[in-house]
Structure 1
């Protein structure tokens, strides 16, 4: 009998709705700078190719590798150019020997001027031929023209190299730009040298830079102007292609919905949700889109409406659709009015 009463009491406790702390959502008006979406672009992108034709016999770098100016990248088989240089040296030696012998005769008037000019011409041609072949041998070794990162490697051992055929692409990233577009109606708010804030969502970091480039020609289709903010990247954490958000222009008044961080529930897929209480006191799990974190609160950009009631605390004991017993918070949250 005693055991039966205990089981009955436990069942009643189990069926009792969980007690949760709730608050009513209220939006607040704040001034925010206009945010322009863009991306990080490199300071310089260089396509490197061989100046001579040949078969590639050595490649010493890979994609993603940092290189320094003057660093060896790749080479081609220079056997043919080395042989041509030997021939050029022999021809030059022969021409210079002939010139020395006939020079004295010419000065004494014992050698025809026409033949003397031919010999001088052959010496000049041999010297030029030697320089050309020495340069071809030097050009068979490809060096990096700048500091940067190899982003494309087209050169492979055994492949053919030729002038104008890209072997590598090198991106200079010690300085980068946050590039964004501004519509014609707003371009007057921007000046060269203007300081702006750049947020990189991937890194969850803000950077400060100055607008260094304002393209004076608008895009033919969008009629928008391209602007660039120069950012120091000596640490190499900013990579081309990263999404950037540039806060600039004249601040505008916007409405924001903020909730305490403790109200947010992340599901197994790390998607944020909150529990919204309906008129029957049932808890409904609602997906939300979160923005920036402001202290112990987070800005909700989508998913909640003003005057909705949400669970602020105690949601860990709640299941989807479950009836709950509500109580007001002991202290009023800045953006959630307690009932």
Structure 2
């Protein structure tokens, strides 16, 4: 008899040891959307060159404060300088006050003047012979020759005047074209001196002097000094619930056991097809004392909060939205809001009831 009692007692103890138990709590429950991302400096950007070449000189050091248009890098520009000098010479040769241009214009103007003088002579002959033609002092054939010479002079003057006009237009066009080519050359030469697009802090230099530079190679990282934002990625399944100005709870590996609050202030309205996520930006309300670009962050974007809710630990909720109300009996419940730790029970459980779960 004692042996049977001992077996039953051990069975009860054994069953008891398999379960954990708890009671619901009354408190706030918050529904949120998970997001992950990094810390970035405001206006953070990578510096690139627009030209190929050898990096001759680095004029800055990582960590320093820089101003807009400050010189950062110098690339070998010998070839660009020669091209600029050649363009400058070509432009100078095409200017209207150049002796060569003046000689061409003067030559054409002289041609026009000679054509005008010849026209005056031929017109005078034509007028005189036209008056005596009726008296048959000049033959019809000779008059036609005079008339033809007069018309030829008229055409020759018009042609010469047109050629002069075209010459001036062409010379003016060449001058403007060469001026543009000179400006392009000067701008291209400026491209070999890489300057900062904004004032801020130089976070990192990614190249060394003597390196072959191309437009595909990032040279440095620059951003606003002491001003940071959160760049987060939200899964496409959750994106419809994310709105501007929602509260964001942030945890950082660099600040263990601390939670920081931020606000959603920018939503990028396009999905990344590879990761199937949307990018959003948020700003800290009270940021940590020290932050650095590219720190990893995890976030919970608060969708809604309910006060005085009946909640249970999330790991006590079974499949099919049910709970264990005794070691042998389950009960269906209606759930409401949930976060990563607890879930609201709207119907099916009283605040003073005990619930169970198997020990892990």
TM-score by length of 1: 0.53
Displacement of 1:140 in angstroms is 1.2
* Cα distance in structure 1, aligned partners of 2:57 and 2:274: 46
**Counterpart for residue 240 of structure 1:** 294
Structure 1 residues 53 and 221, CA, compared in 2 at 3 Å: closer, same or farther? closer
Query: Displacement, 1:248?
Result: 1.8
Measure the CA separation in 2 of the matches of 1:89 and 1:171.
38
Q: Is the 8 A contact 2:39 2:297 kept in 1?
A: no
Number of matched residues?
233
**Structure 2 portions without partners, runs of 5+:** 1-20, 114-159, 315-340, 342-355
Q: Which of these two proteins has the greater Rg computed from alpha carbons? A: 2
Matched, 1:153 2:151: no
Q: Distance in 1 between matches of 2:179 and 2:62?
A: 40
Distance 1:221 1:53 in 2: 31
Native 8 Å contact 1:182 1:227 kept in 2: no
What is the aligned partner in structure 2 of residue 92 from structure 1?
91
CA RMSD of aligned residues (A): 4.1
Greater strand share, 1 or 2? 1
Q: Does the CA-based 8 Å contact 2:49-2:215 persist in structure 1?
A: yes
Matching residue within 166, 174, 177 for 2:230: 177
Shift of 1:211: 1.5
In 2, Cα distance between equivalents of 1:49 and 1:191: 34
SS in 1 for 2:255: coil
**Deviation of 1:130 (Å):** 1.5
The residue aligned with 1:144 is 196
Residues 164-201 of structure 1: CA distance to partner in whole angstroms, max 9, x if unpaired?
443334345724125253573x6565432223343435
- Would the aligned equivalents of 1:189 and 1:249 in 2 still touch at CA under 8 Å? yes
> Aligned residue for 2:49?
50
Q: Quick one: structure 1 residues 27 and 67, their matched pair in 2 at CA, closer, same or farther if it must change by over 3 Å? A: farther
Once residues 53 and 240 of structure 2 are traced to their aligned partners in structure 1, the CA distance between those partners, rounded to angstroms, is 54
TM superposition score normalised by structure 2 = 0.51
The separation in 2 between residues aligned to 1:95 and 1:221, in whole angstroms, is 56
Given candidates 22, 40, 51, the residue that maps to 2:38 is: 40
CA contact (8 A) 2:38 2:294 kept: yes
In 1, Cα distance between equivalents of 2:209 and 2:70: 18
